[in-house]
Structure 1
């Protein structure tokens, strides 16, 4: 008879807690679905009131929203969204409604699906596509929503909508571009919120350039010895929502790294600095967010960054990644391009970017022409291009960190015999990369396995497996072009 150890009992307790948490989350989704069904019933009452008094339609609607917002202690906008979602589920998305009732998806999934479905619903109502297109949309979106996060569901749903009704997507984007604006609103304590509504490609490029310039400043203020690791640590903390985390990382050769045991201790170089400029640089304790805000102010008011913010910033250009089929680029068709990690992009904008930019790389994924393996530790540039196109983001389930902020990791450790092959490489952000490091105790370390098709399956310390599927679209042989 096998004797159960304390370790076995501890593992069972951890598994029980995880299973109970997942079950409660499912029950919460079921209750949210029940609340949505009650709103559907209330909508029927609303429609009957409108039928009796059509001239008071707006007042009837506003009164209903206000009452539910007050009773539920919700902002008016949240109550309105809830009614919109309930109506859309009851009219256009019966499959999503059923999945919601079963607790297979959460209210956040529903919100993202409903938002993306509006484009398809508009195309159906305008008779640009037949009614069955909504069913196709539901089926395709639920394949991801039932197994992935709301954030990934949002991106996937927008991609599906763009594929089903590309003409409507382009028309909406061009119409929305006329709504670009800038506004200012006071938020008290001497601060104000500056809001710019811009075409998405421009907004993403602006944010990226500010981030890269801020990282340059962090590198400059910390000196060559701590440059890359401090900037990457700050950037990773901001991306993960923990800007107060200042863990330092030390980088070695071939993309290897470890945490700095001296992080947070006084810097001798700072104590010995004897020039005013050095003292100013070393005393700069701003966070990455604060530096980005200061850079934005300088760029807009002075047209160029001031010298006090660091040198060499003028050469840093904005970077976005766009994928567009070669047929679209040549004008053979007008399918939307893809602003990687965000969603569809007007094909005219993609063509304009291609005409002004020399950074386009052809990603023709021919099995006989693609370099899939090298004897060195570092992958070749063609392999990197393939991996960027395939992964698009960190390959830990649910993570949306874009590839240009990730490391290329050997799924099976190179030091233990793992080969530098495309089917043994994937992008991982620093946070999830460290989960599989050998210096982590077995009780907390994750392992990963990559299948022949590119799916990455992670095994947790509890023995549970979670699979991140690769993107079939990005690995097709449709010869897309990527702007990196």
Structure 2
């Protein structure tokens, strides 16, 4: 018996719920595995306490044992033990959430990695020990409702807010670690690795993506312009009957003596005009271009190779290559921009940025946008379809990326969408606009049948509440633009989910 759409929807919801539960159980098992490593570390510490002179040998033996039993690389086992120790000793709340299956191993890795500058600031005596508890609480609150990629950017930004001096020093020290290396992967492929400042790497990737998309667009032209069609027709061998004989050349491209020019004969002119009439009557001729089998990654790689080896991508892209620029979005306080302090800026969606780098970008980039927020002067709505320039700047700063849960598509590769359709009475206001990438915008398009279409509404705090076809709810909160760090540890009743709508410092 064929299942009905309603029955299939119920099955989809059931399968989704079961999948989520299995993923929770997997996370809990991963937490148990980490706890077992922590217990093994306790035994190693006991052995080291008895024979401290053999610490290195004891640790190497333990690593080798788990490498062999788990069929894992030595570096991976060492990293797992290091995370297990940190999780056991310094992050009880994260460990508890991990054991409950609320967060995945990727979340844990991002939190522990981002905590390093905070721990260093505490170790150097520049911060109170309770600051780590504040970091853990804020990081966990975010990680339990967001994807690991978004968690990475958030916890790095929060760590920079808690330990700005440490972050700045680490950025300065990191410049000395820049390098380029190559490693053979197979006989045909090698891995070229460049370790460089994050803002440069992001800009390089963005520019390569823009160039690759332009190339794919140029390669898919469906027709020949009429002028080119005439040239193509004239380039063929065209028999022209003249009084002097038969010619197999274009008579209008004659390069011989003037007195022998075949275009002087009426027959040649008539033949050429007849050829042009045929081309006009035929109309545009579709050019069947086979689909480019290369993916965007391959095109980016080939463009990178061309740029590095020739420093001239013109052979591929033409003269328009210079017009393609990279886009990165940076947020920096006016006081930092003026040099009044050395607090880190933020490379939106990525992490902290050295203040000197932010100042350099502000001074050189022609596309730098200054944001001046005023509680009374900012335009929040308009009676036209298109938002004002000020609203666009505000929404770009608010959203930073596509507002579908977990999507990391940067804001300059998305489009502003009316959450409640403009054609159905939706306003052009910051409370009814959000950035969506093309993929996720299509999910809510009216052309999709109801039983496959997603719906979305915007809550008063700018959270987008998505409803899937089977009725599941998924929320996406806008990332905070400014993080307020209290001088004293946060009280137990501190509400990390307090609405941010109307906050003049957002």
Counterpart of 2:345 in structure 1 is: 337
Give CA deviations for 1:216-255 in whole Å, capped at 9, x if unaligned: 22222223889xxxxxxxxxxxxxxxxxxxxxxxxxxxxx
Counterpart of 1:251 in structure 2 is: none
Output aligned runs, 1:234-383, within 5 Å.
269-271=286-288, 285-383=293-391
Matched, 1:13 2:30: no
Q: What 5-or-longer segments of structure 1 have no aligned partner?
A: 227-266, 272-278, 480-484
**Given the superposition, is the C-alpha separation of residues 451 and 365 from structure 1 closer, same or farther in structure 2, using an over 3 Å criterion?**
farther
Counterpart of 2:62 in structure 1 is: 64
Which of the numbers 441, 451, 461 marks the counterpart of 1:443?
Answer: 451
Deviation at 1:288, TM superposition (A): 2.2
Give CA deviations for 1:104-160 in whole Å, capped at 9, x if unaligned: 111111111111112211111121111101100011011111111111111111111
**Given the superposition, is the C-alpha separation of residues 217 and 366 from structure 1 closer, same or farther in structure 2, using an over 3 Å criterion?**
same
Deviation at 1:64, TM superposition (A): 1.4
Counterpart of 1:395 in structure 2 is: 403
Q: Distance in 2 between matches of 1:81 and 1:14?
A: 38
Aligned CA RMSD, in angstroms, stands at 2.2
Deviation at 1:56, TM superposition (A): 2.6
Q: Distance in 1 between matches of 2:38 and 2:383?
A: 61
Give CA deviations for 1:290-320 in whole Å, capped at 9, x if unaligned: 2222221222122221424433102322221
Which of the numbers 426, 431, 434 marks the counterpart of 1:418?
Answer: 426
Q: Distance in 2 between matches of 1:456 and 1:58?
A: 52
Indicate conservation of the 8 Å contact 1:92/1:121, yes or no.
no
Deviation at 1:52, TM superposition (A): 2.5
Which of the numbers 405, 409, 412 marks the counterpart of 1:404?
Answer: 412
Matched, 1:429 2:437: yes
Counterpart of 2:200 in structure 1 is: 202
Deviation at 1:284, TM superposition (A): 5.8
Indicate conservation of the 8 Å contact 1:370/1:382, yes or no.
yes
Deviation at 1:459, TM superposition (A): 1.0
**Given the superposition, is the C-alpha separation of residues 428 and 61 from structure 1 closer, same or farther in structure 2, using an over 3 Å criterion?**
same
> Normalising to structure 2: TM-score of the pair?
0.80
For the residue of structure 2 that corresponds to 1:103, the secondary structure is coil
Q: Distance in 2 between matches of 1:373 and 1:410?
A: 12
Counterpart of 2:187 in structure 1 is: 189
Counterpart of 1:24 in structure 2 is: 22
Deviation at 1:404, TM superposition (A): 1.0
Indicate conservation of the 8 Å contact 1:304/1:314, yes or no.
no
Q: What 5-or-longer segments of structure 2 have no aligned partner?
A: 225-283, 483-499
Deviation at 1:370, TM superposition (A): 1.7
Q: Distance in 1 between matches of 2:286 and 2:195?
A: 44
Q: Distance in 1 between matches of 2:291 and 2:110?
A: 44
Indicate conservation of the 8 Å contact 2:182/2:192, yes or no.
yes
**Given the superposition, is the C-alpha separation of residues 268 and 69 from structure 1 closer, same or farther in structure 2, using an over 3 Å criterion?**
farther
Deviation at 1:365, TM superposition (A): 2.6
Which of the numbers 113, 117, 120 marks the counterpart of 1:119?
Answer: 117
Indicate conservation of the 8 Å contact 1:363/1:386, yes or no.
yes
Counterpart of 1:220 in structure 2 is: 218
Q: Distance in 1 between matches of 2:52 and 2:363?
A: 54
Counterpart of 2:52 in structure 1 is: 54
For the residue of structure 1 that corresponds to 2:465, the secondary structure is strand
Largest Rg, 1 or 2: 2
Indicate conservation of the 8 Å contact 1:325/1:478, yes or no.
no
Give CA deviations for 1:427-483 in whole Å, capped at 9, x if unaligned: 11111111111121222211000012211111111222111112232586458xxxx
Indicate conservation of the 8 Å contact 1:32/1:107, yes or no.
yes
Q: Distance in 2 between matches of 1:160 and 1:308?
A: 43
Q: Distance in 2 between matches of 1:439 and 1:392?
A: 28
Deviation at 1:414, TM superposition (A): 1.3
Q: Distance in 1 between matches of 2:285 and 2:448?
A: 30
Q: Distance in 1 between matches of 2:481 and 2:316?
A: 46
Q: Distance in 1 between matches of 2:329 and 2:293?
A: 31
Deviation at 1:193, TM superposition (A): 1.4
